[in-house]
Amino acid sequence: MNQLTQQVLDGHTRAIARAISYVENNHPEKENLIDSLYAHGGNAVVWGLTGPPGSGKSSLLNLILRKERDKGKKIAVVAVDPSSPFSGGAVLGDRLRMQKHAVDPGVFIRSMASRGHLGGVSGAAGDVIKILDAAGFDLIIIETIGVGQTEIDIVEMADIVLLVLVPGLGDEIQALKAGVMEIGDVFIVNKSDRDDAAKVRAEIEYVLHMKTPSELDVPNPVVMTSALENRGIDDLLVQIEQYLAAISQNGLLEQKRKQRIARELKIIISAKVRGRVYRQLKLDERIQNWADAAYNKEVKPYTFINRKLEDLFK
């Protein structure tokens, strides 16, 4: 076993950070590292935390961290941001607010950009989870900033998805809700001190009611919280534990984890095959000529690509 692997297993913060950088930079040693850590994982519980911007996810997360730390858990937080090279990475007020946890050695906080990962950010997030799991964290929380398809793919890597909703964000939020409802396990109505919080709860319960139950389904808790007034957090954590206990007992957790692994294997296959074919086609050199030809209508896109791939696979 090499030194970095050993240091990660020992829980050294700087080694963990370096291992994550291997994943983010697709370092040549990445695959060996992940494979050598892999057998040591499987002990952490992974929570996904998502919801529309402005729903107060970060304030909730702060309160959750405090309570779970009091139970003696080692916790890692991975926050996935749509940060960009142009802006030099998002400087998050949210992250700053978490700094009081940054001096606590039992809490590890890391931001990950959602762009620029070979095999997509969900592939990278899967590897980061494996590192943190092997490093001995009891609880790994994946938080997404932004609400979109990529973010949904990421939180689906979790054992349990906490979906934060709030009253009064208007029509577009309703649309987003419709899009993300299916991925939630525990529904949190935050800012529940607001007038129309009960209405949001009723809407969620209505949609849940319409869901076609599957064999292993466990009732989805809907919890009212106010991060601002520090209310409802204890109830939330009880509901989370009960949900996890139920899906652990009935086999749904195992099924979810196997599905996650299946997705991860597919992501690895896709990324590796794509890389290999791009190299064989010398795509980096040629793509601009091909695009020019298509722009000038000299070739038809599908016919052209099919011919190129025929050459490659024959």
Of 68-127, which residues contact a second copy (CB under 8 A)?
81-87, 89-94, 114-115, 121
Which residues in the 24-53 window bind a second copy by CB under 8 A? 31-32, 34-36, 38-39, 42, 52-53
Indicate if the alpha-carbon torsion angle 232, 147, 23, 275 is positive or negative.
Answer: positive
Q: Tokens representing 151? A: 């973010």
In whole angstroms, how far apart are CA 282 and each of 99, 269, 293, 306? 46, 20, 17, 16
Q: Considering the rule CB under 8 A, would residue 171 count as an interface residue with a second copy?
A: yes
Give me the least distance between CB of 231 and a second copy, in Å please: 20
295 part of the interface to a second copy, by CB under 8 A:
yes
Please give the full DSSP string across 236-266, using - where no structure is assigned.
HHHHHHHHHHHHHHHSHHHHHHHHHHHHHHH
Q: By CB under 8 A, tell whether 297 contacts a second copy.
A: yes
Site string (4-23) toward a second copy, x via CB under 8 A: --------------------
54 sits near a second copy (criterion: CB under 8 A) = yes
Position among 10, 29, 182, 193 found at the interface with a second copy (CB under 8 A)? 182
206 scored as a contact of a second copy (CB under 8 A): no
Min separation Cβ 144 and a second copy, Å:
8
Round to whole Å and give the CA distance between 279 and 152: 31
Indicate which single residue of 245, 248, 291, 311 sits in contact with a second copy (rule: CB under 8 A): 291
Question: Taking the mean position of all CA atoms in its chain, how far away is CA 108?
Answer: 16
202 contacts a second copy (rule: CB under 8 A): no
Alpha carbon of residue 132 to chain centroid = 13
H/E segment holding residue 65:
helix 57-70
Distance of alpha carbon 198 from alpha carbon 192, whole angstroms: 8
Question: Starting from the edge strand earliest in sequence, which strands make up the sheet with 139-144, in order?
Answer: 107-113, 75-81, 139-144, 45-50, 160-165, 186-189, 222-224
Name the one range near a second copy by CB under 8 A: 3-11, 100-108, 143-151, 185-193: 143-151
- 116 vs 100: CA distance, rounded Å: 30
The nearer residue to a second copy, 74 or 191, going by C-beta atoms, is: 191
Residue of the chain from 6, 13, 21, 174 that contacts a second copy (CB under 8 A): 174
Residue 157 and residue 142 in contact, taking contact as beta carbons nearer than 8 Å: yes
* CB nearer a second copy, residue 10 or residue 298: 298
In angstroms, give the least distance from the CB of 124 to a second copy: 12
DSSP letter for 231, please. B
Does 288 participate in binding a second copy (rule CB under 8 A)? Answer: yes
How far does CA 57 lie from the centroid of its chain?
A: 14
C-beta of 71 vs 97, nearer to a second copy: 97
Stretch that binds a second copy, among 14-22, 61-69, 173-181, 245-253 (CB under 8 A): 173-181
Region of 65-73, 225-233, 237-245, 299-307 interacting with a second copy (CB under 8 A): 299-307
Beta carbon nearer to a second copy, 144 or 225: 144
Scanning 11-19, 98-106, 193-201, 306-314 for contacts with a second copy by CB under 8 A, the matching segment is 306-314
259/276 Cα distance (integer angstroms): 26
Distance CA 133, CA 164 (A): 25
Stretch that binds a second copy, among 131-139, 189-197, 217-225, 305-313 (CB under 8 A): 305-313
